[in-house]
């Protein structure tokens, strides 16, 4: 497995793939890899001749008071995991390589980048869109893989590829969950044991919203109320938002339809977590994946 630490090295590593029109599957990550990332890699490997990953904690998608410096970094472990998954190569650029002196362009994602999660994290989606566009240009993949847990990010990336005619197929992969429902996230490692238990409230609340929909509630407010009540019952959690939205535009869906998704953000202790679920269980093409017991024991990064 090659590891390229600069744009020049990366281009050397990929040149033969580009020449031979080998299909490249790209899995962009910020590292601290877990089973969710592993599922993206496996899907990419299944779909493409060659699978590559990027590991880059992108400073431009973090707000000034967010966790950029604290964000978990585990490069050696990540590389070992990717090697074990037969990834062909990994791009691990430095911030200066991605944003050299004089860099002064940002992608403005428009309305989708400014609502819901974008309203709470100004500039976040612009940072994501900019770095993902750079990664696409630098690696020229046929397909790129993103988790559905970050549903608005996925919608943003689909929107930029459509709007800017970027010739990359964007593939959303199902959220991977712990057996108690907590969606895997690199930020779960911030949780203390009691917060970890409390963090299941997001999935419980989403399911309460889904139940309300199944029982015939169709307004955004009714579904949102069902979600809110559950979060409020958890002492360690504070709801940031719960909304029922269209999965492409993220505009409020009122009335909700089978396509709608419930998106939630909540603070558990000081850790901010996000998650989502379709209102209709039937509409979920592939149900949430959970870890098997043997995957939870041993050295899986989701446990580290």
What kind and span of H or E run contains 260? none
From CA 129, how far away is CA 108, in angstroms rounded?
A: 8
For residue 61, the minimal CB distance to ligand PAF (Å) is: 6
109 binds ligand PAF (CB under 6 A): no
29 binds ligand PAF (CB under 6 A): yes
202 binds ligand PAF (CB under 6 A): no
DSSP helix/strand/coil, 107:
coil
Cα 155 to its chain centre, rounded Å, is 11
User: Contacting ligand PAF (CB under 6 A), which of 85, 97, 117, 150?
Assistant: 150
Size of the site for ligand PAF (CB under 6 A): 10
Catalytic residue among 37, 124, 285, 292: 37
Alpha-carbon distance values, 14 to 5, 6, 51, 140, 211 (Å): 13, 12, 11, 9, 48
37 counts as catalytic = yes
301 binds ligand PAF (CB under 6 A): no
58 binds ligand PAF (CB under 6 A): yes
Sign of CA dihedral 189, 194, 199, 200: positive
For residue 107, the minimal CB distance to ligand PAF (Å) is: 12
User: Contacting ligand PAF (CB under 6 A), which of 17, 26, 30, 151?
Assistant: 30
188 binds ligand PAF (CB under 6 A): no
Alpha helices for 173-291 (secondary structure H): 193-198, 201-214, 220-232
Region of 250 (left: φ > 0; alpha: ψ -120 to 50; beta: rest) is left
Among 42-50, 96-104, 128-136, 220-228, the segment contacting ligand PAF (CB under 6 A): 128-136
Question: Smaller CB distance to ligand PAF: residue 132 or 208?
Answer: 132
Angle, CA 288 vertex, CA 282 and CA 291 arms, to 5°: 150
* Contact call for residues 178 and 293 (beta carbons, < 8 A): no
Query: 44 phi and psi, to 5 degrees?
Result: -65, -40
Contacts of 150 (CB under 8 A, 6+ apart): 274
41 binds ligand PAF (CB under 6 A): no
52 binds ligand PAF (CB under 6 A): no
For residue 268, the minimal CB distance to ligand PAF (Å) is: 20
For residue 59, the minimal CB distance to ligand PAF (Å) is: 10
From CA 54, how far away is CA 77, in angstroms rounded?
A: 14
For residue 216, the minimal CB distance to ligand PAF (Å) is: 35
Contacts of 9 (CB under 8 A, 6+ apart): none
For residue 104, the minimal CB distance to ligand PAF (Å) is: 19
61 binds ligand PAF (CB under 6 A): yes
Enumerate binding residues for ligand PAF (CB under 6 A).
28-30, 58, 61, 128, 131-132, 150, 153
Catalytic residues: 37
């Amino acid at each position: 497995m090659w590891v390229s630490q600069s744009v020049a090295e990366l281009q050397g590593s990929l040149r033969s793939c580009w020449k031979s029109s080998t299909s490249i599957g790209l899995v962009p990550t910020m590292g601290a890899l877990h089973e969710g990332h592993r599922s993206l890699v496996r899907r990419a490997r299944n779909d493409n001749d060659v699978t590559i990953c990027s590991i880059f904690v992108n400073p431009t998608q973090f707000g000034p008071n967010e966790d950029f410096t604290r964000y978990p970094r585990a490069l050696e472990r990540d590389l070992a995991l990717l090697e074990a998954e037969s990834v062909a190569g990994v791009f691990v650029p430095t911030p200066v390589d991605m944003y050299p002196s004089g860099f002064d362009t940002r992608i403005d994602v428009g309305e989708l980048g400014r609502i819901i999660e974008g309203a709470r994290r100004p500039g976040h989606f612009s940072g994501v869109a900019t770095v993902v566009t750079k990664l696409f240009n630098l690696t020229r993949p046929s397909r790129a893989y993103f988790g559905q847990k970050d549903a608005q990010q996925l919608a943003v990336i689909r929107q930029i590829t459509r709007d800017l005619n970027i010739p990359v197929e964007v593939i959303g992969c199902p959220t991977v969950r712990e057996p108690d429902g907590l969606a895997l996230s690199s930020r779960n490692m911030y949780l203390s044991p009691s917060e970890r238990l409390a963090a299941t409230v997001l999935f419980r609340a989403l399911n309460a919203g889904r139940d309300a929909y199944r029982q015939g509630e169709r307004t955004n407010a009714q579904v949102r109320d069902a979600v809110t009540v559950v979060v409020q019952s958890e002492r360690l959690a504070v709801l940031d938002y719960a909304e029922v939205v269209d999965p492409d535009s993220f505009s409020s869906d009122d009335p909700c339809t089978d396509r709608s998704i419930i998106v939630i953000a909540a603070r558990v202790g000081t850790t901010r977590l996000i998650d989502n679920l379709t209102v209709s269980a039937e509409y979920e093409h592939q149900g949430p994946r959970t870890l098997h017991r043997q995957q939870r024991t041993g050295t899986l990064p989701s446990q580290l």
